[in-house]
Every structure is written in C-alpha cells, then in structure tokens.
Structure 1
Amino acid sequence: MKKLICLLFCCLLFFPATAQWKWYDPMEAGFPVIQNQGFTQEIGNSYTRLPERAKGMVSEPVWNLSQHSAGLAIHFYSNAPRIKVRYTVTGSLNMPHMPSTGVSGVDLYSINSDGEWHFCFGNYSFKDTITYTYNNIDKDHYHRQGFEYRLYLPLYNGVKWLEIGTPEDAKLEFIPVSPERPIVLYGTSIAQGACASRPAMAWGTILQRSLDYPLINLGFSGNGKLAKEVLQFISETDARLYILDCMPNLSNQKEEEVAALAIAAVKQLREKHSAPILLIEHDGYSNMYTDTIQNKEIEQVNRASRKAYEQVQSEGIKDVYYLTREELDMPADGWVDHVHPSDFGMKQQAAAVERKVREILHIPLGSTPTTIPATQRREPHMYEWRARHRAILKQVCNHPPKAVILGNSITHYWGGEPEHRNKNGRETWEKIMRPAGFQNLGCGWDRIENVLWRVYHGELDGYKAGKVVLMIGTNNCGLNNDKEIVEGLRFLLSAIRQRQPEASVKVIGILPRRNQEQWVKSINFDIKEMVETEGYEFANPGIALLQQDGKIDESLFVGDGLHPNEEGYKRIGGEISN
C-alpha cells in the first residue's frame, strides 16, 4: 500500500512537469514549412529531398541518400525562454569519421531584430528519441515577442518525426516556405556535409546563411556523378543559380568521359533555364602532395573540368562560371581524412564559393554596416517584416508597377498596397501617388542596409519600372556617422541601377525631424553632392515641413515629430511623385 501511495505521489509530481510544455509538429502547421527542400507540393509534408516518383528513375544509392534531410531547415518565431527539440531518425547515429552531432544532430540559430545571427547551444541526448534543450534564452531589446529561429536538420540521417516544444505560456509560429528562387547545389559527400561537426557547418549551409537565399542541397555521398536522371529533377527547379560540384566523385573516370559529362550537364540545364551555372573543380586531397597517385587523379579530373568549361564557352553558352582548386585554396589542416573537409575546411570552401556567387549574382558586400544587407524585425506588434517582403514580391509579380518608392515607415504608412492599418496619408497617396503608378515598397523602421537586403532579394526584379524613388536613411541617424550613411546610399543606388537600368532614379533627402533639423540639413547637403555626382536626381521636399526658424512645423506631423500627417504628405507628395 505504501508503494502504491508513493507511486501515485510521484505521478502527481511528474504530471505538472510534463504538462507545462506545448509541442508543435511542423507537419501539422497547415502550410509547408520545410525550407530549402524543393518539390514542396509533392514532399513538403516530409523531411526528404526528392519526390517519390524519383524512385526507380535515379540510382538506388541516390534515392536512399535523398531520404536524408541534409540542408533542410525549419524557420519559426518564438518568445519562449526555453525550447526543446525531439525527434527520431532512420539510421545509425554516427560514423567513424563523423560525430553524432553531424550525422544525426540539429542546429538552432536565433536572429534578433537587427538581423544579427547567433548560434544556440543546446544540451543534447542521443537515444532512441534524440533531444536538444535550449535554456535561459534572453529577450530581444526592441520588444518581448522573441526571435526568429532557424533549425537545421541532420546531414546524414532521415527524420521520422520531429516536434518543437515551448513552455505552455510561450508562443511559437512557423514561417512558411520562402517564395524566393533558390540556389541548387548538386554534389558529392562533401556537399551533403561530410564531415561537418554539426549540420550548420556544411559548406552549403554556411553559404545559405551568408546569402540568406534558399539553397537546395542535392549532395549525395559517393554519388554526385552528373547523372542525367538527377539533372532532370534539378532542371524542374527554377533556380537563381545552379552549382555543380561533382568532380570528387569522378576522379576514377577517364578524362574525356569526365569532360563529356560536364558538358552534357551544362547543356541539359541550359535546355530549360538561362540562370547562371557554376562549375567547381575538385578541391584536392589532404595527401595529394605526398601521394603521387592521388595527385595525378586531381590533375586529371580538373583538367577534364577545365576542358569542359572551355568547350561550353567556345560554343557560346552564356552565364557559365568556373571556380578553380586554387581559388578554393583548401588549407593543409582543412580535412578530417584524405578528402572530407573539417569545419575549418567547410568554412574555407563556403567563403571561396560565396565570393564567386556574389560576383555572379551582383550582390556585393561593402565594408561599412550600411553596405552589408540585413533583415530586421523591430516592430512585430505592427507587422511582420518578412511577411511584408513576401507580400511585396507577390504584388510586383502580379501587378508589375510603373513606379516604385523604397523607404521606411514614412513610406510604409503613407498608403497603397500591401495595405497596413496605419494610413497617415491615404488621401494624398490616392490623389498623387496611385495615379502616378507608384507601388509602395516601404517597411517600417527600415534602415539603409535593410532596403539593400530587400533589393538583393527580388523586390526590383522581374519588371521594368519607369521611375524608382528612394527615401531612406532617417533610421540610421544616431547609429551611423554621416560618411557611413552617404556611402550606404551610394552602395544601395548601385544595386538599384543594376536591377532597374532603364528607370529614372530619384533620391529624396532625409525629411526633417524634431530636434534633428540641423543635422538633417547638413547631411542632405552631403547626400545631394553624392547623388548628383553619381548621376541620379535629388529632391529635398522636406523643406516644406519647416517653419521660418528652421524647426519642424508640428502641425504637419502625427505627433512624434518624424512621421508626416495627411497635410504633411500633401506638402511633399508632388515633388516626390514628379
């Protein structure tokens, strides 16, 4: 009897401890949430990489490896002070040269409201059910609605089921699959992720984080052989870039065979797509300088790769690019064994590929904070920034605009679509901006670097605008010096011109704001000089918002001394739209 009472008492103690957690299954979100997957309509409710119809079409090893979740991720928002992840996998937990954390583990990153990424270390347990627990999560300094998270899935295992847990009083919201065109990576075990210590250290995933584009990982261990059957599935994806990194699995074939395979792969992709194709050489072996046989293998396969590249170039096939072993520059300590990179090697390869990709896609990085693209989530109580970005992409795709205005909340809350509950100048928008054909590309609390991210991620792509108006910079006040702000604007204007070469581009001087009138006057002088030197148009309608003493006319603002009211927009709207 005493034992029974004791057992019941223990159960009562245990029940509240388990009941305080709420579990979220990504497969039950109600919409696709598995990022970097491809074929979402067919396999978006699974953790696999190729659709069922590929079985029997691709080789059996490729099909089996496609069941591994390499490169897949789940994005979500949460304000939880603790997060747990639990799941089961289909295969062995580890390999002799790769730990359980890499083969079967997950990786969690948080992104704060300024777009800064932070690795989250979780205590983990590898049993029949694998668990990761993340404790003592801090709060964002802008609000109490938590962070954006990226959960990267196992590299060398399949996921049977997975749940994310939070305390019951916390919130978790899954983020839908990104609508942006992905990068597709086709490669070998190195591309799949061997031998990274954890999923996010695979070089393709490092590249994905750096560029913040979806990246579909079709690395197949020992089976990245430029197979036409795999390329057939790859060609179903409308990618922004195709990366072919298969040379390490072709080193035992004859030189002419390798060259023929690479040429055929480029031509097969080019039949359906005009997107750039990047060919990557074999990055070498750790012992290539001490083993003559392996050294000859490297020389032969890369010689064949170069011949293929030169051949497609000579045939006039456009937008095919090449990355050499010398450019990859794998360090002496960059390997775990003779061919698979360590985390050190993975970072080296990712950095080399990133440099080439930024050149190909025209997405350079500058040296100041205002020239490095960044996301933001500073006011989720007002709107979700990424959701608005997706809405803008949809809007410009379905209704190609004649003119666009890029800006922050002064633009966002003016009027137009995508709609927002704040419409400080709706009447003026309807009377002046809409008839002029303007699409509102404003996002509240944006800074220069946030607009740069949005430009790099498609908001000016796919249509020809007659006019682009840029009204940004006030939110960089107090954070960046004048030189950084002006340089950020110059850098952003170059990105705009790259994407809208035929549009007239007008830069609006920073509007006056309470207690900052003199600074605004001074920096607008510098902005005007830069803008006109670079060959763009400058306008300074904010003068109409000032009194004779140089201070803002408070009657023209909503009350914060920053955002114009309806009358304020009337004063400046004509000069902006013309």
Structure 2
Amino acid sequence: MLNLKITSLFMLCLFLLPANAQLKWFNPMNTDYPVIQNQGWTKEIGNSYARLPQRAKSEVREPLWNLSRNSAGLAIHFYSNANNITIRYKVEGSYSMPHMPNTGVSGIDLYAIDSDGNLKLASGSYKWGDTISFNYKIDAKDKYHNLGFEYRLYLPTYTSVKWLEIGIPENADFEFIPLREELPIVAYGTSITQGACATRPGMAWTNIVSRSLDLPVINLGFSGNGKLEKEVINYINELDAQLYILDCLPNLPGYKEEDVFKKVVDAVKQIRSKHNTPILLTEHAGYSNAGLDTTRLRDYTIPNKASRKAYERLLADGVKDLWYLSNDELNFSMDSWVDYVHPSDLGMQFYADAYNKKIREILKMSKGNLTTTCPVTQRREPGNYEWLKRHREILQMNKANPPKAVVFGNSIMHFWGGEPKGPRSTGKDSWEAYMEPLGFRNFGYGWDRIENVLWRVYHGELDGYKADRILIKIGTNNFGVNSDKEILAGLDFLYTAIRQRQPEATVTVLGILPRRGMEKRVASINKEISKLAKKQGFIYKNVNKDLLLSNGQINESLFGDGLHPNAEGYKIIGKKITE
C-alpha cells in the first residue's frame, strides 16, 4: 500500500512539473561569436549587457555611468522553429517607475520576421519575481519551409540585465545570429532616447527606427544626463557609424542661450575632428503643458533657438554633411506625452516617423509604397543557404578584398559560379572562362526579388570601394506576385540606389531571362527595362535571343528546369556579357 502511494505521488509530481523542465536553454553569453546587437565596444565590453566599456567608469559622471549599465536598445537576434519560446532573466533595478509600467522598464519584446521579410509582434504571458519570465506560443508556420522564423528580442530599457536564457522544446531548432556587419547609427540623448516612457522596449524610438530601417542603432540615451559632454563624445568618436544623432536638448532647460549654442558647436566640431560621417542635430519636441505654462514654453524654445543658430553658424563655417530635425518636423500632438516631457507610445511613433524620414534622406534609402520599392530581407530557402549569412560573408569579403566588378541577381546568378560560393555551381567552367577574368564577385542570392536586392544595396554591398563594372539581372521572382508596372517601379528604385553609391561604375542590365510559359511577358517587360536602363545611363544587353527557338519558346536544351540555365546556357550568357 505504501509503495502504491509513493508511486502515485511520483506520477503526480511528474504531471505537475513546470513546462520549462522540458525545455533546452541557450545563453547569449556562452556563444563562440558576439550576438548582442546594437552594442558599441562589443569586444571590450565582453560578457555583459552594458552600453559603455569598463574604462569609462573613471571618465564619465557617476549617474551617467550607472545608467550605462541599463540594457536600453540592446537586442538579440536568433532563428528558431519552436512552437513555444520562453525567456527568463534576472535584472538589477526597479521593475517599474511611477510613469512607466513593468513591461516598459524591465520587460522585453519579441518580434518575428517571416521568409518574405514581414515583421510580426509576438505577444505572450509574463510574470515578475526574482526571475522574470516571458512565454510565447507560436502557432504560425512559414509558407516556404518548416525551419521557423528569424526573431528580434529587445532587452529592458531601464534595468540592468544580470543574466538571460532562451528556452525552447527539446525537439526544436535554435541558432543565434551573429553581430550585424553594417555600420550603425549612434544616438546620443536623454531619457527620451533611453526609452521613457514607452510601455514596452519595442516602442522606444531607437528600436522602432532600427526595425523600420533594419539598421543597428546604438542607444546612448542617459536619463537626465544627455548633456553634450565631451567625455561622452570622446567615446562616441571611437565608434565608426553611418550617422551620429545628437538629441540632448531636453536635458538643457535653464541653460543660457549662449551656453547651449557653445555646447552644440563644440560637440559637432569634436565629432568632425575624427569623422566626416553625417551628423544630425535634433530639436526639443516640447512640453505637453507649454501652452499653459510660459516657463515650460521658454525652457524648450530657448535651447531650440540656440541649436538652430549653432547649426547655421556651423554651415556658414563650412561644416559638411550636417543635418537638422526641427520641432515642427517632430510634430507632436497634444496626446504625445505621458507627463510634461516624456513621450507616450504615440509620441515615440511620432519621433520614429520623423527620424525615419530624415534618415532615409541622409543615407539615400528611399522607400516607396509598392512591395518592389520597400527594401526587405528574405529567407525563402534556408535549407539551401542562409540569406543573412551570405550577406555577411559578402560584406566581409568586400572589406578584406574590395572587388572591381560585381553581379547582382537571383538564383540564376547565384548558382552559376564564382565567389562567394553558392550551394552549387552549374556553370563553373563558363564563369571561370568569362566572368573571373573580369574580376566579378557573385552577389546572386537564390529566390531574391527586386526588393531584396534593394535591401542589400542599402545595407552595404556597394559601400567602401569603387567598382569598375556592375551587372544586374533581377526580376523574374517578382512575376508571381507583382504586375509589370510594379516590377518596373522597383527596378527604377534599384537602379537609382546603385548609381547613387557607385556613380563612376559601368553598369550593365541583362533584363529578365526567358522562362517556360512566360516568354511573351518576358519579351514585353524587357522592352521597358531597356528604356529604364538607358534613362539611367546604363548599358542594356539582350542575351535572350540566343536562348530561344525560332518560334519564340525557350530552348529547353539550354535550361535545366525551364528557368535556370544549364552549363551550355551559362556559356552562351557569358559570351554575350563579355563580347
């Protein structure tokens, strides 16, 4: 009888075991490569969720140093096909503040990205205790494969993460994504930049901007302590960036106009002494009660007036690539604040919208209303190759050995040959005979559409070197989802982006190769592609006539599947390109 009771009690305990007993756990600090995104000084900071290196402790003020331990803006990217994701972690600091809930101060946020580059917010249950935990149930499946989604995990804005683990079921897959290779945007500011008063980390404006532009944004916002101090700018100057943002005016009320003027001028000149990178000066968004309180009105209009004067003086002095974001452009509404100064989620969105518009102008990252004009990543065949891994490899190769010639394309180019190597090389001999002597590097990606190539151009694949030749062949994968008009609009966007980044290169467009059952559509749209290419000053080459039969159908003997050329087909294309 006693044995029966013991057995029953044991079975009951097994039944009541928490779900996380069946999970396997992954710690970002135990990887062989850095995975903490949006963090400067990664190698120096090491195994920590901090924002300034240890040596800064003796060089910056103590309150600022303490705030630099907060994980504002930091993120972790990973792949998983798990149907349940649990994140547990421990923080140092208060879980909430009077004007911010737990979810905003010490909570986390999880976003998924599907294979077409679409963002989706994950929402789940959470609990606070000595260990905080968030649990997400994932029912959706990717339409292309069963290898899951890419995830972006945003860390708390106002507490210091001591440790963190991600748990998934034993039968699921998981992989951390390495640190992004692109140069970041560096934002130096106040509590507003740090994240007050977003109701969750994903709504802090730096994180919204990071998602919208798909760029790393290093958050150097320090609550009450963003004062354009030279000690902080000395550290900022150690970071190579695409853009430096100075958004410190909300911490300068009560300063005399001449003092704010001098701080802005000195800060810009300090950065310019080290970098020619664009600098963006941002005005104070104002106070919610400024219409009823003349002191509040004065407290933000005086710094803004001084900042504008500093901007104009710097331009007059010949400072180049200096930009300005005004109070009018921030365009806060009456309900954009939580209290007198800190933005609500609505205010954070106003901030992000204004920044996105300005940054796209500065970095030449235009975005349209059609899918073909909206740059996105893709992950349609991770069982064949990892798209982001290939992008990372290309950036590393370009930095180590700048190319003289590059070819942009989809799987038709990807599977031809050359470096970096793809999962297969159908036309290796012809690549070596025709393309390799011209120094071509292969920027073809399987299953790419126009918008994916646009993303790659915006994210560094043409930066940091001067190309002699650029070859473009993209668009066939848009046939099933876009009209010819949409395809042509996307190509026009893409051609402009390429010319902006490589103004001296000779650019050749091949148009869309013939494909089984779509020969007439291909011929029709290629006539328009030819006009677009010539409008941009590009060379258009017609390789299709040598791949067709006399009746206008594709020559099946030159294709493996009615779309991808075989070795003989690649040989013909190589001859036409180089003749």
TM superposition score normalised by structure 2:
0.98
Q: Deviations over 1:66-110 (max 9, x none)?
A: 000000000000000110101011011000000000000000000
Q: Take 1:22 and 1:305, find their aligned partners in 2: how far apart are those partners?
A: 52
Q: Take 2:296 and 2:31, find their aligned partners in 1: how far apart are those partners?
A: 49
Q: How does 1:131-210 map onto structure 2 within 5 Å?
A: 131-210=133-212
Q: For residue 247 of structure 1, what is the aligned residue in structure 2?
A: 249
Higher deviation after alignment, 122-131 or 150-159: 122-131
Q: Deviations over 1:406-443 (max 9, x none)?
A: 00011111111111231011000001000011111111
Higher deviation after alignment, 7-16 or 370-379: 7-16
Q: Give, as a single letter, the amino acid of the residue that structure 2 aligns with 1:361.
A: L
3-state DSSP class of the match of 1:134? strand
Q: For residue 524 of structure 1, what is the aligned residue in structure 2?
A: 526
Q: For residue 572 of structure 1, what is the aligned residue in structure 2?
A: 573
- On the 8 A contact 1:287/1:338 being kept in 2, the answer is yes
3-state DSSP class of the match of 2:465? coil
Q: For residue 515 of structure 1, what is the aligned residue in structure 2?
A: 517
The offset of 1:16, in angstroms, is 8.7
3-state DSSP class of the match of 2:58? coil
Q: For residue 484 of structure 1, what is the aligned residue in structure 2?
A: 486
The offset of 1:303, in angstroms, is 0.9
Q: Take 1:41 and 1:25, find their aligned partners in 2: how far apart are those partners?
A: 17
Q: 2:545 aligns with which of 543, 546, 570?
A: 543
Q: For residue 281 of structure 1, what is the aligned residue in structure 2?
A: 283
Q: Deviations over 1:418-477 (max 9, x none)?
A: 112310110000010000111111111000000000000010111111111110000001
Q: Take 2:545 and 2:391, find their aligned partners in 1: how far apart are those partners?
A: 31
Which ranges of structure 1 fall in alignment gaps of 5 or more residues?
Answer: none
Higher deviation after alignment, 33-42 or 547-556: 547-556
3-state DSSP class of the match of 2:437? coil
- The 1:17–1:341 alpha-carbon spacing in structure 2 relative to 1, beyond 3 Å, is closer
Q: Take 2:317 and 2:445, find their aligned partners in 1: how far apart are those partners?
A: 45
Q: How does 1:350-365 map onto structure 2 within 5 Å?
A: 350-365=352-367
Q: Take 2:259 and 2:440, find their aligned partners in 1: how far apart are those partners?
A: 54
Q: Take 1:226 and 1:267, find their aligned partners in 2: how far apart are those partners?
A: 12
Q: Deviations over 1:497-544 (max 9, x none)?
A: 000000111111200011111111111112112222332211110221
Q: Take 2:556 and 2:46, find their aligned partners in 1: how far apart are those partners?
A: 53
Q: Deviations over 1:230-262 (max 9, x none)?
A: 111111000110000000001121111111111
- The 1:129–1:3 alpha-carbon spacing in structure 2 relative to 1, beyond 3 Å, is farther
Q: How does 1:45-444 map onto structure 2 within 5 Å?
A: 45-444=47-446
Q: Give, as a single letter, the amino acid of the residue that structure 2 aligns with 1:564.
A: P
The offset of 1:10, in angstroms, is 3.2
Q: Take 1:481 and 1:412, find their aligned partners in 2: how far apart are those partners?
A: 24
Q: Take 2:9 and 2:72, find their aligned partners in 1: how far apart are those partners?
A: 44
Higher deviation after alignment, 332-341 or 505-514: 505-514
Q: Give, as a single letter, the amino acid of the residue that structure 2 aligns with 1:327.
A: E
- On the 8 A contact 2:198/2:348 being kept in 1, the answer is yes
Identity of aligned residues (%): 59
The offset of 1:367, in angstroms, is 2.1
Q: For residue 563 of structure 2, what is the aligned residue in structure 1?
A: 562
- On the 8 A contact 1:78/1:172 being kept in 2, the answer is yes
- On the 8 A contact 2:265/2:310 being kept in 1, the answer is yes
- On the 8 A contact 1:80/1:137 being kept in 2, the answer is no
- On the 8 A contact 2:385/2:423 being kept in 1, the answer is no
Which ranges of structure 2 fall in alignment gaps of 5 or more residues?
Answer: none
- The 1:499–1:136 alpha-carbon spacing in structure 2 relative to 1, beyond 3 Å, is closer
Higher deviation after alignment, 448-457 or 131-140: 131-140
Q: Take 1:529 and 1:202, find their aligned partners in 2: how far apart are those partners?
A: 44
Q: Take 1:16 and 1:96, find their aligned partners in 2: how far apart are those partners?
A: 33
- On the 8 A contact 1:34/1:44 being kept in 2, the answer is no
The offset of 1:44, in angstroms, is 3.5
Q: Take 1:577 and 1:73, find their aligned partners in 2: how far apart are those partners?
A: 46
Q: 2:459 aligns with which of 457, 465, 473?
A: 457
3-state DSSP class of the match of 1:434? helix
The offset of 1:576, in angstroms, is 2.1
The offset of 1:186, in angstroms, is 0.2
Q: Take 2:361 and 2:422, find their aligned partners in 1: how far apart are those partners?
A: 36
Higher deviation after alignment, 413-422 or 273-282: 413-422
Higher deviation after alignment, 306-315 or 100-109: 306-315
The offset of 1:127, in angstroms, is 1.4
The alignment covers a number of residue pairs equal to 577
Q: Take 2:452 and 2:20, find their aligned partners in 1: how far apart are those partners?
A: 41
Q: Deviations over 1:121-168 (max 9, x none)?
A: 011111111111111431100000000000000000010110001000
Q: Take 2:512 and 2:21, find their aligned partners in 1: how far apart are those partners?
A: 53
3-state DSSP class of the match of 1:75? strand
3-state DSSP class of the match of 1:185? strand
